[in-house]
Each structure stands twice: as structure tokens, then as C-alpha cells.
Amino acid sequence: MSNLIHDITGMARRAKKAARSLVTLSTEAKNNVLLHMATAIDEKREFIQAENKKDLTAGKEKGLSPAMLDRLELSDRVIESMMNGLHEVAMLPDPVGEVEKMVRRPNGLMVGRMRVPLGVIGMIYESRPNVTVDAAALCLKAGNAILLRGGSEAIHSNRALASVLQDALQSQGVTADAIQVIPVTDREAVNIMLNQEEYLDLIIPRGGEGLIRFVAETSRIPVLKHYKGVCHIYVDRDADLAKATPIIINSKAQRPGVCNALEGVLVHKEIAEEYLPTLTAELKLNNVRLLGCHESVRIVADITPAMDSDWGTEFLDLILCVKVVDDIEEAFAYIDQYGSQHTESIITENYSNAQRFLNEVDASAVMVNASTRFNDGGQLGLGTEIGISTTKLHAYGPMGLEELTTKKFIVYGQGQVRS
């Protein structure tokens, strides 16, 4: 067995042992640890930023883009935001121990379902070192141990943050093995991690589509993920166009580089002549470039004809596809073909079309008269999130604390046997 396999297997084994002890940790104890972590990050700010500087310097030498360096930097603002995040997670209700659907069966057995932690979560992510703290906080609050493997660009930052978090755990009498960062960043470490089926219960990858596909194809452990967010808005014939435009602008332009940003607008043919010129003009004011179908180009000469490969593309940029559709059925078919089961929204004042859209569209969040940007754990009321799942097993949509737990059956008997 190579040293690397030996080391990572040892970490995974210790994580599982730690998870066993977290099951019985009280909510109060977990909250104390979280608040203590926030204080520790504040106190160790200089150390953390000095280590972060090493990553930033190396990143500049490697020629990382300004956007990537920005994501890498643990500025005072980012540190405050990590501290706030820890406070917020401490304030969220603890899902562990909640008992649902307790009923008395005909034979007198009391049967219920108790929320329990999943066990050990493996997190694989790229450059943002604040994920280390955010993910560790959520996993700890849900009673899970976490094994983190960040990108090589952030290795000094991640190790520094882990050591601060581990000190905080130990100062509160909790094992440091509850939060561990794998100190090796080559791909082989990921391979070994994805084979720890005996010790890890769930893998959550966050990053580009390439990383996520690699993880999904390699892992022997269940993976919760989304590859990409190709989100659409369908502007129905009965849309209130005064609502449509601000929603489309917000969905596309407020933050174009994220997964719940808009990539395509479908417009009902009977309002296209009236609406497309207005929409195009408004989008232009927001520097959004439009790629469209033949019909849309006929109506607005400013729209660039789309290529086949544009439909269903996640641009993550100020580019938007526009297509004129015959009816809601064609919108459904388009979303089925090009959507990524992430977020789909309809703009309509028509009651039946609103209900049909909510019932029939298959996506982790389906909306009426609202911006796609609302598909986010904080916005939808989960408090915060560890990621968004577009696969349907276990969780569909943003994953908060509850999605980091499972339910076991508990049975109170008085001597019953089965007949």
C-alpha cells in the first residue's frame, strides 16, 4: 500500500470514528464550537492571511486570471463573511434528533422516524478557500464529520483554516478528526478518497463541469451534484410584460457567472412582435448580447442568429439565447431537451398555465413570475446551503442542514412479536 493510500485511508477511518462521537453531541455543544470557530478565525486572521498570501503569490506566478485570484483571496471582507456564516449556522435549528410521523400501529408498537447524521461527508472543491469553513460548519451542525480536498491553488489557505478549526474543536472537547483537510492536492488523492466506500457516506463535488464529471464517473460513494445550470424563462402569451423584463434582466445580468443565472428565454409567438424589441433594447442597456432563432432575428435585426450549439449552452456570461415558441407545449419540449433540471420559470397571468408549469416541468426549482436567481438555499428558506443537486436521489435543489441528514426508523415496543 502506498503512503498516500495509507494516509488518506487513515484520515477516512478517523473521520468515521469521529462521526460516531458527533451523533450524541448536543445542539448547544455544536453551537458553542461554531461560535468559538468564528472567534478563532478572527484571532488568527494574520496567520490565515499570511498563508493565503503564499497561495496568492504562487497564483500570480502561475498566471491565474484576476477573477481566479479574486476568488482565492481571503480579504477582510471574506473573513467577516466566513465568521458571519458560522454565526448563522449556529442560529439555524438542529435537524438531528427530530422525530417525524410517530404513530401507534394496530399491535401497539410506536413507530417513528428519527433524523440522524449521514456520517462522513467528502467535499471536493476548487479554488475558493472559504468553502472549507462554510462546508465544515454545515456538516458539523448536522452531526457529520467532513473530509475536505480543496484545489492546489488554495492549499496553504485551506491548511491554515483547517488548523484553526481543529484547534477550536479541541478547545471545546471535540475530536479534531471531525474536520480534516487532505494536505495533498494531486488527482491521485481524489481517486483514493473516492474509493473510501467503507468510511465515507456521501461525496459533494463543487467546481467546473470537468471536475464534477470526473468525480461522478470515478466515485464508488454516492455523489450529490449538479453539472451545470441551464435555466430558462418562458414568457407566456398572457404574461404581464411589466413583470417579465425586470425578472429577465435580474435573472441574466445580476450575476451572470453563477449556476442559477438565465441562459435562455422562450417567447410565445403571439407576443413576440410586440415584446422582443422592448426586451432586446432593455437587455442591450445591460450589455447582454442576444442569440436567437430565425423568427426572433426576423423581428429584431439586432439579434445574432444562434448556432445549433448555442441552444442549451451554459454561457456564464452576458449572452442570452432567445427563441420564439408556438405554445406552452413547445416550451415544455424545449426545456426537456435543453434544460439541466436546475431552475425554470414562467411569466404568466394565466392560472392554468402557471399550474401546468409548476406540475409538469422537471427541475429542482420551478417558478412562476420570479427570477431564476432565487434557486439558492438562503433565498428559498434553508438558511444556507452546501450545494445544489440536480439529480433526484436524496435531494433535489439546494441542500441545507436537513439534506445532510437521513431518517432511521425507531420502534418503541412492549414485547411485541410478529404473527
Q: Which helix (H) or strand (E) holds 177?
A: none
x/- track of binding to a copy of itself for residues 281-320 (CB under 8 A): ----------------------------------------
DSSP string covering 253-299, please?
HSSTTSTTSEEEEEEEHHHHHHHHHHHHHHHHHTT-EEEE-HHHHHH
Number of residues that bind a copy of itself (CB under 8 A): 68
Q: How many angstroms separate the CA atoms of 321 and 20, rounded?
A: 50
Contact with a copy of itself (CB under 8 A) among 3, 287, 309, 359: 359
Q: How many angstroms separate the CA atoms of 142 and 116, rounded?
A: 8
Contact with a copy of itself (CB under 8 A) among 250, 280, 313, 384: 250
Under rule CB under 8 A, residue 350 binds a copy of itself: no
Cβ-proximal residues to 20 (8 Å cutoff; 6+ apart), any chain: none
Q: Of the candidates 91, 178, 85, which has an alpha carbon nearest to the alpha carbon of residue 134?
A: 85
The residue range among 4-12, 16-24, 31-39, 157-165 that interacts with a copy of itself, by the rule CB under 8 A, is 16-24
Under rule CB under 8 A, residue 366 binds a copy of itself: yes
Q: How many angstroms separate the CA atoms of 36 and 357, rounded?
A: 46
The residue range among 39-47, 175-183, 214-222, 226-234 that interacts with a copy of itself, by the rule CB under 8 A, is 214-222
Contact with a copy of itself (CB under 8 A) among 53, 97, 183, 330: 97
Under rule CB under 8 A, residue 217 binds a copy of itself: yes
Of 249 and 303, nearer to a copy of itself (C-beta) is: 249
Of 50 and 91, nearer to a copy of itself (C-beta) is: 91
Of 133 and 174, nearer to a copy of itself (C-beta) is: 174
Q: Of the candidates 335, 266, 246, 256, which has an alpha carbon nearest to the alpha carbon of residue 289?
A: 256
Of residues 117-146, which lie at the interface with a copy of itself (CB under 8 A)?
118-119
Q: Of the candidates 287, 150, 266, 285, which has an alpha carbon nearest to the alpha carbon of residue 205?
A: 150
Q: How many angstroms separate the CA atoms of 13 and 290, rounded?
A: 52
Contact with a copy of itself (CB under 8 A) among 5, 271, 318, 380: 380
Cβ-proximal residues to 377 (8 Å cutoff; 6+ apart), any chain: 383, 384, 385, 386, 388, 398, 399, 400
Closest separation in Å from C-beta 148 to a copy of itself: 19
x/- track of binding to a copy of itself for residues 44-83 (CB under 8 A): ----------------------------------------
The residue range among 3-11, 280-288, 299-307, 355-363 that interacts with a copy of itself, by the rule CB under 8 A, is 355-363
Q: How many angstroms separate the CA atoms of 278 and 280, rounded?
A: 5
Report how far apart, in Å, the C-alpha atoms of 240 and of each of 237, 244, 247, 281, 356 are. 9, 6, 11, 18, 18
Residue 29 CB neighbours (<10 A): 14
Q: 3-class DSSP state for residue 304?
A: strand
Cell of 398: 439546494
Strand bridging mode 387-389 / 397-399: antiparallel
Closest separation in Å from C-beta 354 to a copy of itself: 8
Closest separation in Å from C-beta 110 to a copy of itself: 9
Closest separation in Å from C-beta 23 to a copy of itself: 6
Q: Of the candidates 161, 127, 129, 137, which has an alpha carbon nearest to the alpha carbon of residue 85?
A: 137
Q: How many angstroms separate the CA atoms of 91 and 112, rounded?
A: 26
| Amino acid letter for position 48 | I
Of 303 and 386, nearer to a copy of itself (C-beta) is: 386
Contact with a copy of itself (CB under 8 A) among 398, 399, 400, 401: 398
Closest separation in Å from C-beta 347 to a copy of itself: 9
The residue range among 79-87, 170-178, 239-247, 282-290 that interacts with a copy of itself, by the rule CB under 8 A, is 239-247
Q: Which residues bind a copy of itself (CB under 8 A)?
A: 20, 23-24, 97, 103, 105, 109, 111, 114, 116, 118-119, 201-202, 217, 220, 222, 240, 242-243, 246-247, 249-251, 254, 336, 345, 354, 358-360, 362-371, 373-375, 379-381, 391-394, 396-398, 406-418
